[in-house]
Structures are given as C-alpha cells and as structure tokens.
Chain A
C-alpha cells in the first residue's frame, strides 16, 4: 500500500513535469531552441493565479484562466521581443538570450512580489470546510489520493490527448510539424513560419500556466525561483523521452516523477535528484535520441 501511495505521488508530480515538458518539447521541435525561460513562465502563472485568488477573490478556475491568458501573452511577447530578432543568429546566442530572459522574469517577480515566499491557496485544499479530507479513499482508507493529485493526472492526460489530436488532425498542427522539419519548404507551401512559431510559444506558455497552478496547488510555497527546478526537471524529462516528441515528453515526465518519488521514498531524499540525473545519463548512453526520440534516416 505504501508503494502504491508513493507511485501515485510520483505520477502526480510526473504529470506536472510532463505538462511543462510538453511546452519545452513543442518549442524545441519547431524553433530548435531551448527556451530556458519556460520554467519562469510557470512561476509567473503561479503568481498571477495567486493574486487572482488572494487579492481579487476570484474562484480557482477563473484564476487559472486568467493565468493562462497572461502567460500566453507573455510567451508571445518574449518570443517576439527576445527570440524573433535572433532567428538567423547562431543557436548559442539564442540560448544565452533565453537564460537572460529567465533571470529577467525572476528578478521582475522579485521586484513585484518580493522574496518572501507566499503560501499558495490550493485549487482544492487538502480538507474541505467541514474538516473532511479532500481525497479519494481506497481499500478502506489505507490508500488516499488527494483530489488535487487526481486533477493533476487527469489534466495531464487531457492535455496530452488534445495536443496529439491538434498536431495530427488540424491544419495548424500539421503546419507546425511541417515547420519543425523544414522551415524553407514550409514557407514554399505558404505557411507563415513566424506566426506558427508564435502560436507554439502561446500554447507552450498556456501549458506552463496550467503547470504553475497545479504545481503550486500541490506544493504551496511560491517564490520567484519556484519555476527553476521544475523547469530544469521538465527539460530533463523532455530529453529523457526524446526532445521534439510529444508522447516522449509525456512518458519522460511521468517516469522522471516516479523515479524521483521512489528514490525519495526508498533510497534517500538528499540523493533523489542525483539518482534522477544518473538515470537520465544511463538512458542517453543507451538511446542517445531519448526513449521515443525519432531518428529518421534521410534519403538522398
């Protein structure tokens, strides 16, 4: 029973990683850049929803929508101001810019919301107004799964399915895949590559906002650096699963969450991150493209 409970907490954490990793992987797939500011968009999403709930008294779902809107706009603005002018610059320049944007967001948050951590009001608090636990009780109460964990896992699955359908069925989604393969050929088809990249950033940032709200609902300490570690973990998850691949990000995120939870439970809390990254290295040694990363040989 203990094992199941660790497994579920791992899957729940992994679901948050997966949602963040989906944003990373989509942006990488299409713009061929690592958007290291992605984690900080999560933090912005956290703060926006925090303010909406705590200061404006909005209900949780409305706060989530507000955070998504703000982060979407933020994502488009970041892309337009910081990355678009560097479209033909060497990839190192873009990478350094992304790190710069990351610090810019963290320090702006520090100016606005100060360094002291905020206690985040969870979307679904652990207990309800009557003092009863907001959790699903299984096996006569031996296994309890909090509703927020269930919501997190469900969101992740819904997002994953929605994105898969979007990229395989819709015209815009297919255009994204075309751009990710060959921007020149995509332009010859009449696809506006800049608009497509902006849309990808918009989707990634909206996902980051959802991840921010879910993450803070489970781990309710919010500070300007909140997004950094989950951002790096999610990046790891994306590489683990095969960067550029949507199912890869999903699988990588879940596995990373489970490995982390198990390592914490059975080996050592302090070593958990070490173990996570050690597993990553081993996987990449065996499968350099990641678990589901595609290697398509080119015909000439």
Chain B
C-alpha cells in the first residue's frame, strides 16, 4: 500500500508549551487510521498541524509526495485533504445548504450539484433541513453537516476530530457506520477519538498518544486486545 500521508518528527508549541514532541506516523491509501489518547495528549493539535491551522517547528508533513510545510492553510483543502474539526465548527448562522456550498468552495461547475445530491443521500436528515440555519440543528445533525461539508471538497484523506463527542450512543453508532461507508467508497480516513473502543474496532491501525508522544502503535485488533490499552483507555 502506498503511503498517502507521512508525518515526520513534528514539534508544535503553544507559546512556550511544547504540545507535540516529535510525532511521526503514516497513513496508507485506503486505510482507516486512528489516533487515540486522553485529553491533552495532542491528538487535535496533530490534526490541526496537518491541515495547516498550526505549524510545526521541525520535521515535515508530506501528503501525496508534497511537503505541506510552506503551503498556506486555505490551499491545503484543494490538495485533497479535509478536516472535520473538533466541536464541528459548522457556520451556525448559515443554512445547511450554504454550509455545504462552503465545503465546495474550491470546487466548481456542475459537479457541485452531484456532490450535494450525494451528501443528501448519505445524510437524509440534512436534506429535510437544507434551508434551516445550522445553529438550529441538534448536535448529531451538526456533526453530520460538518462531515458532509468536508466531503463536498472531494477529499482523498478525510480527517475527523472527535466525531462522537457529546453524542448519544445511538448517534455514535450511526456516525461510525457512516465512517465505514465512506471508507468503503474509497476515502482514506484519519480518525481522532477519545472513544477508543469504537475507534479501534473500525480502524486498520492505531497510534496511542500520551502527552505529545506516540507510545504504542499497532493494528486495531492488537490494540483492542492489549491489556495496557484496555486498562488505560477502555475502562478495564
């Protein structure tokens, strides 16, 4: 399998706080890879660095053989890399349809309509509410909107930051089903989760982060079975 994303020795600081301490990992084409870890381990920081919202002082982020280090954040999405940010961050005062149109900002022409139809097919709830302002949606619907919005840019690699956060168990199940469907459609997925059990059960491979470092890695099954992981992240 060809590597699609290669993160090599990144170090990220918030002022004087050293948040990411030399993280390196790879995502291969067609995989679901997950980063798990507790609050403050640096999972979101890693994703934000890959998508260009934050910058690393060292090392490199390579996506499809291109170094992203010098590319401004707004140009990264057109390379085929989309982030569904933590807390959804949909545009609350814009309608569902407008949010999706913003997702297609780098796209043009008729393809947008087809993509809209595709997203509405994936998320029928969004179609029912297309003219509604996003601020009036429930948390689960907002998460669907955030995912649909990211899909509008035709990502080769979709990064999801805590998609299950704050959702009822039934919705979490739905979201993970959708993630698996997207994966079947051929999208490579990098998933950050605190819900380690759910994330590892769908992932091909996983990395465990602790205070800015990768401490363990392995296949989803291996990590699920590992006693240390069970103890620390799966509640026994």
Interface residues of A (CB under 8 A from B): 171, 174-175, 177-178, 181-182, 184-193, 294, 296-300
Contact of B89 among A177, A185, A193, A296 (CB under 8 A): A185
B168 vs chain A, min Cβ distance (A): 14
Complex contact B166–A300 (CB within 8 A): yes
Complex contact B142–A299 (CB within 8 A): yes
Q: Residue B94 at the A interface, CB < 8 A?
A: yes
A219 vs chain B, min Cβ distance (A): 37
Contact of B74 among A171, A177, A182, A187 (CB under 8 A): A187
Complex contact A171–B85 (CB within 8 A): no
Complex contact A193–B105 (CB within 8 A): no
Contact of A192 among B74, B85, B94, B142 (CB under 8 A): B74
Within the assembled complex, what's the spacing in Å between the Cα atoms of A187 and B51? 9
A270 vs chain B, min Cβ distance (A): 42
- Residue-by-residue, is B75-119 near A (CB-CB < 8 Å gives 1, otherwise 0)? 111100011010101111110001001110110000000000000
Output the nearest chain B residue to A296 by Cβ-Cβ distance: B135
Contact of B75 among A175, A182, A184, A190 (CB under 8 A): A190
Residues of B within 8 A of A182 (CB): 89, 91
Residues of A within 8 A of B133 (CB): 296
Within the assembled complex, what's the spacing in Å between the Cα atoms of A34 and B84? 31
Complex contact B93–A189 (CB within 8 A): no
Contact of A193 among B74, B82, B135 (CB under 8 A): B74
Given A174-B102, A178-B91, A178-B94; A188-B139 close (CB under 8 Å): no
Within the assembled complex, what's the spacing in Å between the Cα atoms of A182 and B90? 9
Output the nearest chain A residue to B52 by Cβ-Cβ distance: A187
Output the nearest chain A residue to B138 by Cβ-Cβ distance: A299
Within the assembled complex, what's the spacing in Å between the Cα atoms of A174 and B149? 14
What are the 6 A-B residue pairs with the smallest beta carbon separation, nearest first? A190-B106, A190-B77, A185-B89, A187-B73, A296-B135, A189-B105
B50 vs chain A, min Cβ distance (A): 11
Residues of B within 8 A of A177 (CB): 91, 93-94, 98
Residues of A within 8 A of B78 (CB): 190
Given A299-B135, A300-B166; A188-B94 close (CB under 8 Å): no
Interface residues of B in 110-161 (CB under 8 A from A): 133, 135, 137-139, 142, 149-150, 153
Within the assembled complex, what's the spacing in Å between the Cα atoms of A298 and B52? 25
Complex contact A185–B135 (CB within 8 A): no
Residues of B within 8 A of A178 (CB): 91, 94, 102
Complex contact B102–A300 (CB within 8 A): no
Instruction: Sort chain B's interface into a size bin.
Output: 35 or more
Residues of A within 8 A of B94 (CB): 174, 177-178, 181
Complex contact A298–B92 (CB within 8 A): yes
Output the nearest chain A residue to B51 by Cβ-Cβ distance: A188
Within the assembled complex, what's the spacing in Å between the Cα atoms of A184 and B88? 12
Within the assembled complex, what's the spacing in Å between the Cα atoms of A182 and B142? 15
Output the nearest chain A residue to B108 by Cβ-Cβ distance: A171
Q: Residue B234 at the A interface, CB < 8 A?
A: no
Within the assembled complex, what's the spacing in Å between the Cα atoms of A296 and B103? 22
Residues of A within 8 A of B142 (CB): 299
Q: Residue B215 at the A interface, CB < 8 A?
A: no
Contact of A190 among B74, B91, B92 (CB under 8 A): B74
Contact of B53 among A188, A192, A294, A296 (CB under 8 A): A188
Apart from A174-B98, A186-B74, A190-B74: 15 A-B pairs, beta carbons within 8 A: A171-B105, A175-B102, A181-B92, A184-B53, A185-B85, A185-B89, A188-B73, A189-B77, A189-B102, A189-B105, A191-B102, A298-B135, A299-B137, A299-B142, A300-B87
Residues of A within 8 A of B91 (CB): 177-178, 181-182, 185
Within the assembled complex, what's the spacing in Å between the Cα atoms of A291 and B75? 38
Within the assembled complex, what's the spacing in Å between the Cα atoms of A188 and B102? 10
Residues of B within 8 A of A300 (CB): 87, 139, 166
Complex contact B105–A175 (CB within 8 A): yes
A30 vs chain B, min Cβ distance (A): 13
Complex contact A297–B135 (CB within 8 A): yes
Given A187-B74, A189-B77, A189-B105; A296-B166 close (CB under 8 Å): no
Output the nearest chain A residue to B146 by Cβ-Cβ distance: A185
B88 vs chain A, min Cβ distance (A): 9
Sample 12 A-B pairs with CB under 8 A, ordered by A number. Answer: A171-B105, A174-B98, A181-B94, A188-B77, A188-B85, A189-B74, A189-B106, A190-B77, A191-B105, A297-B135, A300-B87, A300-B166
Given A175-B105, A299-B135; A294-B51 close (CB under 8 Å): no
